[in-house]
Amino acid sequence: MTSLYKTPVSSLNGIGEKRAALFARLGIKSVGDLINFYPRTYEDWSNIKHINELEYGETACIKAIVATSVNDTRISGGRIISKTAVYDDTGSIQLVFFNNKYISSMLRQGGEYFFYGKTSSDSYGMQMLSPTFAPAIKGTQIRPIYRQTAGLPSKSVESAVRQALSMLPSKINDPLPDAVRERFDLCPLRQALFDIHFPKNCQQLETARKRLVTEELVVLNLGMRNLRDHSRGVTSLKITKDYSEEFESLLPFTMTNAQKRAVSDCINDIINKSSPMNRLVQGDVGSGKTAVAASVCYTVAKNGFQTAFMAPTEILARQHYKTFQRLFENTDIKVGLLTGALKESEKKQIRKSLADGSIDMVIGTHALITDKTEFKNLALAVTDEQHRFGVAQRAKLLGKGNNPHLLVMSATPIPRTLGLIIFGDLDISIIDELPPSRKPVKTVLRTSAMRGGVYDFIRSEVKHGRQAYIVCPLVEEGELDDVASAEEYAADLMLREFPDIAVGIVHGQMKPDEKDEVMRKFAENEYSVLVATTVIEVGVDVPNATVIVIENAERFGLSQLHQLRGRVGRGSSQSYCILISDKGSRTTRERLEVMCSTNNGFVIADEDLKMRGPGDFFGHRQHGLPQMSIADFADTKSLELSQKIADYIMNRYGDIRNDEIRLLKAEIDRLFDRGGQNALN
Ligand code: ADP
Ligand code: MG
């Protein structure tokens, strides 16, 4: 198999340089690539329907005899419509083809064929429109459909794949050792490769798919573990003294036990272990991750080293900057801020102070990982809301120091099974406890007709000194000009609903210092109501806010709603989340009902993935994982199985470099090189 990756596709019959270039467009360079180019979907020709069983609008396969010769009719614009009737034992149906002058020469009167297509009807009865067809001789009955490109239709890919498969030696080395395959009931690779392309029935297809999906996820799984175990060597940083107790006296509250445990996990990593810390602190929104990070930063700084703390948004970076400044006010720790929005001269000044060591701790956005930023002695890299960063960015931040410690923090918008893989290269501390006296946020669903009541409610909360967010998703989605922009919405509110209440507005198109000013005023309760877009989605912390109203709630994913809801319920007062949606469809309501029924981030993430599928789930967020060729991140069962198998392999073979699994190691290297560079550099 390995040598087929070195055999160019142009070595196949009928593939010259021109064709090879078309294959390259699909990412196929070698015969091996072609074999791994799995069908995008299949047409099921195995499930033959009788003509009298066909229903209008369904896509189906029939086996029928051509009754009449094909009748071509020219219509306007020189186009051709070809019609013929076919029959089986149960009835007959008309076939209609558009603009294919060869149909009459391809279909022989009296010949029997499979026809696969969608049915419709006109005044003469049922028709099948432009079906694909093949002579009804024995053979493959489930037809593979490949991703295609201009000049290279699925059929051409199919015939190239047939040739490629015929080049497979009769015995191929299987990356999954027999012991593993037998134990987990996975078919041999050779069989899987044939059956994924040309299955004879659905069972064969399922068996093949299971094997290939599982292998790919196992490879991913082991690859991520490998990153953890072998990429980081020994640390030379001398952090010897634990200052976490001293740190606690700086806090205005007592840490929860879960927070204390997370801190001590980290301190233990950086003081007692020879390799650098690689730790994920995972805790639902509001669980107090910032204080945990601050404690670790404090110990690092007190030992004379620097920390870089990276946040995904400008607002969040600035908020953290203020929190840390306040926290370290009466200490000798110098805190700096470095974000893209600062003036060039300010950035220069901060960078200089980082390089000469006069700043102990810097908080910033992506600006931290540009080439220009250098540190004197970076010992700790922290990323907040890690799911917003790729593995690459995390690695880049680490590259700013000499093998520094890594602490990543994440609320859990990623389902557990996937999280295990994404964070598989990290040790995990879970904060499974909210600070005391927190009450679960009460969540309700309302229609816009009930908005008056919602505003009354906000007024009464404000009267009691509390604050509210109103989220409208409009300004950033410029295409939705049928709905008023956030600005108009806010203006309207101020004039009509809240003339005597201070309303602020913040959205993504504002200048950073404008945003900053608005957030400051809201944090200090100069504004009682903040109209915002999703810029407030992650991390923002104003404990006095007790209401969040989310307009057009149906436009958000559940995980995003959960993050938004996490902006309230951060203090000891009862908080409320009011989802407004007029979309009456059952699925929409069911989705939003999930929000009303639970405050558990894990449950919500799982539901979200189930309902929307992985593509939508991640949106433009990166998860930093390599591109999969067959596995689907929404497939929880396969993810779980792969995890089990990866555990088994590590137990049995000890090390990924074990010679018995060298083929598996080769697959890992291949997966992580293919668009997965981000995971390795
Ligand atoms: P997240 O985990 O979402 O990042 P934060 O770190 O922003 O949460 O903390 C949420 C709020 O809870 C902040 O206002 C913080 O000061 C407060 N907080 C954190 N830990 C505790 C605690 N142990 N007791 C009381 N309040 C706490
Ligand atoms: Mg946070």
Question: Is the separation of the CB atoms in 8 and 28 below 8 Å?
Answer: no
Distance 288 CA to ligand 1 centre (A): 3
Residue nearest to atom 10 of ligand 1 (CA): 286
What residue segments make up the domains of the chain, in order of their start?
47-140, 168-208+635-681, 244-431, 442-618
How far are the Cα atoms of 30, 36, 37, 413, 513 from residue 26, in angstroms, in the given order? 11, 12, 9, 33, 45
Count the Cβ atoms, other than its own, within 10 Å of residue 75: 10
Among residues 8, 2, 9, which one has the least CA distance to residue 159?
9
Structure tokens at 673: 């090189």
Question: pLDDT value at position 412?
Answer: 62
Count the Cβ atoms, other than its own, within 10 Å of residue 134: 14
3-state DSSP percent of the chain in helix, strand and coil, to 5: 45, 20, 35
Distance 482 CA to ligand 1 centre (A): 39
Main-chain dihedrals φ then ψ at residue 244, nearest 5 degrees = -70, -30
Which pLDDT tens digit goes with each residue over 441-471? Answer: 999 999 989 999 999 999 999 999 999 999 9
Question: Which comes out higher in pLDDT, residue 438 or 374?
Answer: 374
Interstrand relation of 91-98 and 125-135 (parallel, antiparallel or unpaired): parallel
Alpha-carbon distance of 660 to 388, in angstroms, equals 38
CA dihedral over 311, 317, 323, 327, signed as positive or negative: positive
Alpha-carbon distance of 507 to 509, in angstroms, equals 6
Alpha-carbon distance of 176 to 154, in angstroms, equals 30
With the most atoms of ligand 1 within 8 angstroms of its CB, the residue from 287, 323, 572 to mutate is 287
For 120-134, 303-317, 408-422, which range has the lowest pLDDT when averaged over its residues? Answer: 408-422
Residue whose pair of structure tokens reads 């669980």 in the numeric block: 287
What CATH number does domain 47-140 carry, 2.40.420.20, 1.20.1560.10, 3.30.70.141, 2.40.50.140? 2.40.50.140
Residue nearest to atom 17 of ligand 1 (CA): 288
Structure tokens at 82: 């070809």
600: CB partners within 8 A, 6+ apart: 284
The length of the chain in residues reads 681
Alpha-carbon distance of 617 to 621, in angstroms, equals 9
The ligand placed nearest to the CA atom of residue 431 is 1
Q: Do domains 244-431 and 442-618 have the same CATH topology?
A: yes
Alpha-carbon distance of 620 to 191, in angstroms, equals 37
Question: pLDDT value at position 246?
Answer: 96
3-state secondary structure of 363: strand
Helix axes 512-523, 314-327, angle to 10 degrees: 50
Structure tokens at 263: 């801190």
Distance 414 CA to ligand 2 centre (A): 16
Percent of the chain surpassing pLDDT 90: 48
Residue nearest to atom 26 of ligand 1 (CA): 435
Alpha-carbon distance of 528 to 518, in angstroms, equals 11
Q: Is the pLDDT of residue 50 over 60?
A: yes
Residue nearest to atom 18 of ligand 1 (CA): 288
Distance 310 CA to ligand 1 centre (A): 18
The amino acid at residue 423 is F
Q: CB-side exposure of 10: number of CA atoms within 13 Å?
A: 8
Residue nearest to atom 24 of ligand 1 (CA): 435
Which segments of 363-438 does DSSP mark as H helices, in order?
391-398, 416-422
Interstrand relation of 442-446 and 335-338 (parallel, antiparallel or unpaired): unpaired
Among residues 283, 277, 300, 256, which one has the least CA distance to residue 412?
283
Distance 430 CA to ligand 1 centre (A): 15
The whole-number average pLDDT for the span 97-111 is 83
Residue whose pair of structure tokens reads 């050779």 in the numeric block: 190
SS (H, E, C) 170-236: CCCCCCCCHHHHHHHCCCCHHHHHHHHHCCCCHHHHHHHHHHHHHHHHHHHHHHHHHHHHHCCCCCC
In CATH, the architecture of 244-431 is 3-Layer(aba) Sandwich (3.40)
Distance 324 CA to ligand 2 centre (A): 13
Distance 648 CA to ligand 2 centre (A): 35
Alpha-carbon distance of 625 to 614, in angstroms, equals 13
DSSP-derived letter for residue 313 is S
3-state secondary structure of 77: helix
How confident is residue 11, by pLDDT bands cut at 50, 70 and 90?
A: very high
Q: Is the pLDDT of residue 640 over 90?
A: no
Residue nearest to atom 15 of ligand 1 (CA): 288
Of ligand 1's listed atoms, the one at least distance from the Cα of 291 is: 6
Q: Is the pLDDT of residue 478 over 50?
A: no
DSSP assignment of 507-546 equals -TTS-HHHHHHHHHHHHTTS-SEEEE-GGGSSS---TTEE
The whole-number average pLDDT for the span 336-357 is 94
Residue whose pair of structure tokens reads 């030992």 in the numeric block: 303
Q: Is the pLDDT of residue 622 over 50?
A: no
DSSP-derived letter for residue 566 is T
Question: Is the separation of the CB atoms in 278 and 228 below 8 Å?
Answer: yes
* Average pLDDT along the chain: 86
Say which CATH topology domain 442-618 has.
Rossmann fold (3.40.50)
Distance 255 CA to ligand 1 centre (A): 9
3-state secondary structure of 499: coil
Which pLDDT tens digit goes with each residue over 565-611? Answer: 999 998 889 999 999 998 777 888 888 999 999 988 878 877 877 76
SS (H, E, C) 109-128: CCCEEEEEEEEEEECCEEEE
Whole-angstrom distance between the N-terminal and C-terminal Cα of the chain? 27
Question: Is the separation of the CB atoms in 45 and 142 below 8 Å?
Answer: yes
The binding-site residues of ligand 1, defined as CB within 6 angstroms of any ligand atom, are 253, 255-256, 259, 283, 285-291, 411, 435, 541, 543, 570
Percent of the chain surpassing pLDDT 70: 90
The whole-number average pLDDT for the span 319-323 is 92
Residue nearest to atom 20 of ligand 1 (CA): 288
Question: pLDDT value at position 391?
Answer: 65
